[in-house]
Amino acid sequence: MKNHAWIGHDRPHSKPVATVNERGSAVVDFVLVSALLTVFFMSIVQLMVVLHVRNTLIDAAASGARYGALSDRTLNDARTRTAELIGGALNSDFARDITSTEITIDGIRTLEVTVRAPLPVVGLIGPGELLEVKGHADLPG
């Protein structure tokens, strides 16, 4: 009778050595992969929050500039309208630093509304005045 060499087995009926040593590794793999996917997903969500805040501020600044450029409105009306729009869409922390000035662009009198707001890093919380957007509207006359 021939001698059989059992590769990876102690005896013919025992489990392979590789299976015994890898016991519990599926749990570790699951935790590592799920943690990585969670971080990736949260990063995408936070990027969407930043883009939403930026687009909202741009729209509020442009709407405030158009409102302030009406013939019976002032620069202060533009700031107030911009702050109201930002406060309604986000919160009043984003409307703390709003300026409006009259400038000339290519010979055209223009109202410029500038908003400086926090850059949201975690949720809506972040360092202040890192995000700056501007809105413009032509002045009458």
Domain locations in the chain? Answer: 17-138
**What 3-state DSSP class applies to 122?**
strand
User: Encoding tokens for residue 28?
Assistant: 């570790």
Categorize the per-residue pLDDT at 123 as very low, low, confident or very high, splitting at 50, 70 and 90.
Answer: confident
pLDDT of residue 100 exceeding 90, the answer is yes
Q: Supply the pLDDT for residue 1.
A: 52
How does the average pLDDT of the chain come out, rounded?
A: 88
pLDDT of residue 135 exceeding 60, the answer is yes
Q: For the chain, percent helix, then strand, then coil, each to nearest 5?
A: 50, 20, 30
Over residues 80-95, mean pLDDT: 95
Categorize the per-residue pLDDT at 124 as very low, low, confident or very high, splitting at 50, 70 and 90.
Answer: confident
**Which residue is associated with the tokens 């019976």?**
72
- Put simply, whether the predicted model's pTM sits higher than 0.85 gets the answer no
The helix (run of H) or strand (run of E) holding residue 19 is helix 17-21
Q: Supply the pLDDT for residue 13.
A: 61
Q: Supply the pLDDT for residue 52.
A: 96
Exposed, middle or buried by CB within 10 Å (0-12, 13-18, 19+), for 75?
A: middle
